[in-house]
Structure 1
């Protein structure tokens, strides 16, 4: 009996020492606000790609949160901004400039058309393509989106500092 108790205690101690892995979200963050700071990152600490990706996740989450009241996503905002600055561009030109797959852009434009933000007009120079324009409602909405995006950019400056933000934009300019 005494040996069974020892075996039982040993098994219980071993079970307590084995932690179940925590489930993580799609972005690798621990659930329920757990930071996961006790998990070492090893070489990832020195990888620019890892740091940029983590910063991108923070950026997108803040953008989505800041613009939640108007239900606009970063890619939708980008498309509307480019169309607003360049009325009459073709879908192909927008897709190429923003690095968006054409099929994905078609779906995105459908959703913006459904909201009466964008219109596709047959091109005067190429019967196979459409010229993209913001509607009157789209122009008004974009002005509001830009005000909210400016608020988001203030959040970025608060997070990393105004000078660091400006420096980061200079570094990343060669990729835009």
Structure 2
């Protein structure tokens, strides 16, 4: 008998009512009532769907967000974009390296401050973003809208924005 099998047998002997892990549903208890837990579970499901939707373009939610901000705010510096999205500087630099290596954005050294870089979308970045926006609207957001309905979706976005602004 292997060590792990022996440990399982010992655990069953101590708790005979316990089912095998494959057969038992874990009771969440109060956890299912906690807003933070529920938000995280929903976020994971939404990100999974987003990644499936964006698979042809190989974009993560964070990368898509960066491209959207650069489209609306060309020439902003790295710190402004990272802070707006709540991305830590080392993570943001690595993400920019990846986007830049794919020719989706470019860093332009500031003429006023040689330590600072302004960010812009490349032509390829604009084209990829246009395709991504269509995919998100037609698939990902459409599924969420169908699930929630327009009124519930708007209410949820409002509630989440309130939490983000107040906390």
Give 1:46-125 correspondences, 5 Å limit. 46-125=33-112
- 96-105 or 156-165: which moved more? 156-165
Give the ranges of 4+ consecutive aligned residues of structure 1 lying more than 3 Å apart after TM superposition.
Answer: 13-20
How far the C-alpha of 1:124 sits from its partner, in A, is: 2.5
Separation in structure 1 between the aligned mates of residue 115 and residue 152 of structure 2, nearest angstrom: 45
Give the superposed CA RMSD: 2.3
Which runs of 5 or more residues in structure 2 are unaligned? 1-11
Shift in Å, 1:125: 2.3
Per the alignment, residue 19 of structure 2 pairs with 19
Structure 2 residue aligned with 1:167, among 149, 152, 155?
A: 155
> 1:139 and 1:21, CA in 2 relative to 1: closer, same or farther beyond 3 A?
same
Q: How many residues align?
A: 152
Larger radius of gyration: 1
Deviation at 1:18, TM superposition (A): 5.0
The question of 1:155 aligning with 2:143 is answered: yes
**Aligned equivalent of 1:141:** 128
